[in-house]
A and B are shown apart, each in its own frame.
Chain A
Amino acid sequence: MKYLLLLIFLLPVCAVGAEPEYVLVIQNHKFEPTEIKIPAGKKIKLQIQNKDSTPEEFHSDDLKREKIILGNKTAFVHLGPLSPGRYKFMGEFHESTAQGVVVVE
């Protein structure tokens, strides 16, 4: 419990480092853009706007990220530092249409 409180208190400290932000939109169970280019070896912040009324789960086994974004909500996912390559992601709740890739250069 103490550890947890410590973590919560540390939150504002961690939030200081300004990372470049990239925007990803979910609409009609599709990602826009479907390809996001980010620099290698740097931490970035991905802003995901869900413009559908239903929840979606941003899921990537390559990036090791999973986050639910509720309907008409915006959420953030921290990425990196990553080595160059292509990292696929998808919307787990609508896998057939919601597909995208992060290209690290």
Chain B
Amino acid sequence: MFSTAVIIFREVLEAALIIGIVAAATRTVPGRNYWLTAGVLSGLLGAGIVAFFASNIADRAGGMGQELFNAIVLGLAVVMLAWHNIWMSSHGAELAKNARSVGVAISDGRSECSVLLVIVGLAVLREGSEATLFLYGIAASEGAGAIPMLTGGLAGLLVGVVVGYALYAGLLRVPMRWFFAATGMLILFLAAGMASRSAHFLIQADLLPSLAAPVWDTSALLSQQSMFGTLLHILVGYEDKPAGMQLIFYVSALIVISLGMKWAGRPRNVDKKMVSA
């Protein structure tokens, strides 16, 4: 029962942390809760569908369908997180000031909300489909003995949700003037970490060369399996033995998204100057 709790906790933790960060980052976006809930629900539905077609997916791409699927889902999540951050750098200031014209805020916020739905949905989908397969295996093989294990799974789920909520609640305590800079930073590194993991799956599928693996080995210093290592792995993409290709993806994502944020943030100021002049 305990081991089941640990496995489910590991699967849930990542999605819970991502949701915690994204929920905090969009605190001022109108209708956020509705879209968050829709994201979780569609993610769960998607997880069920993916688990059901797991065999079909696995056989694709010369047996590398699972890797390709994970790489694509992670890649999509990177694009969505990047989009969110870039959108926030151009609109965040207005939303933070509780935009005077609510109509504009809502129509502007709508596209942001669908991005929110996709980010949350993808996070739940990826982790949820693995959890579903695992729980299905238990239910199929253990029969009546499955009840305590499923209870363990539920416990793992709850603990994961609590950790995600704790991150969310903690973020909300960050003073407003640093708040969007802080969540923006978190999402930037979250996205870079996902890009690196996307590369990891492409390396595993032998679609990309690893390019010097590992570049460094800090597993003795901070193991990726330790609690702190796991947290850092999810939040900022920490790897104790990264492949060169992962570093390239990580740094590229950092640079591209940062440039996008700078670019999106700049023309707005120019507009304001022109208006005030």
Asked if A and B are interacting partners, one says yes
Contacts of B54-85 to chain A: CB distance below 8 A: 54-55, 58, 61-64, 66-68, 72, 75
Question: At the interface, yes or no: B32 with Cβ under 8 Å from chain A?
Answer: no
B-contacting residues, A37-62, CB 8 Å: 43, 52-57, 61
Does B61 lie within 8 Å of A8, measured CB to CB? Answer: yes
For the residues of A in contact with B, the DSSP-based class is: mixed
User: B residues within 8 A CB of A7?
Assistant: 68, 202, 207
Is A18 in the interface zone, CB < 8 Å from B?
Answer: no
Residues of A within 8 A of B213 (CB): 64, 81
Known interface pairs A54-B140, A75-B58. Does A61 touch B63 (Cβ–Cβ under 8 Å)?
Answer: no
- A70 touches which one: B55, B75, B204, B219 (CB < 8 A)? B55
Q: Is the CB of A93 within 8 A of B137?
A: yes
- Mostly, the B contact residues are helix
Q: How many A-B residue pairs have CB under 8 A?
A: 75
Q: What's the Cα separation between A95 and B137 when bound, in Å? A: 14
Known A11-B61, A77-B204: A68·B54 in contact at CB below 8 Å: yes
A31 to chain B, nearest CB (A): 16
Docked-complex contact A54 and B137, CB < 8 angstroms: yes
Taking residues whose C-beta sits less than 8 angstroms from the other chain, chain B's interface range is 35 or more
Task: Give bound CA distance, A43 to B202, whole Å.
Answer: 15
How far is A95 from B2 in the complex, measured between Cα atoms in Å?
12
B141/A78 in contact, CB under 8 A: no
The proximity string for B residues 205-217 relative to A, scoring 1 for CB distances below 8 Å and 0 otherwise, is: 1110000010000
Total number of A residues with any Cβ neighbor in B under 8 Å: 32
Task: Say yes or no for B107: interface residue by CB 8 A criterion.
Answer: no
Inter-subunit contact A71/B137 (CB<8 Å) = yes
* Any A CB within 8 A of the CB of B7: yes
Stretch at the interface among B111-119, B128-136, B172-180: B128-136
Q: How far is the CB of B99 from chain A (nearest CB, A)?
A: 33
Residue B183, interface by CB 8 Å: no
Question: Are B58's CB and A11's CB within 8 A?
Answer: no
Report the minimum CB–CB distance from B82 to chain A (whole Å): 15
Residues of B contacting A65 in the complex (Cβ-Cβ under 8 angstroms): 204
Q: Known contacts A15-B62, A61-B224; is A68 also within 8 Å of B3 by CB? A: no
- Establish whether residues B137 and A11, one from each chain, have CB atoms under 8 Å apart when the complex forms: no
B164-184 contacts to A, CB under 8 A, are none
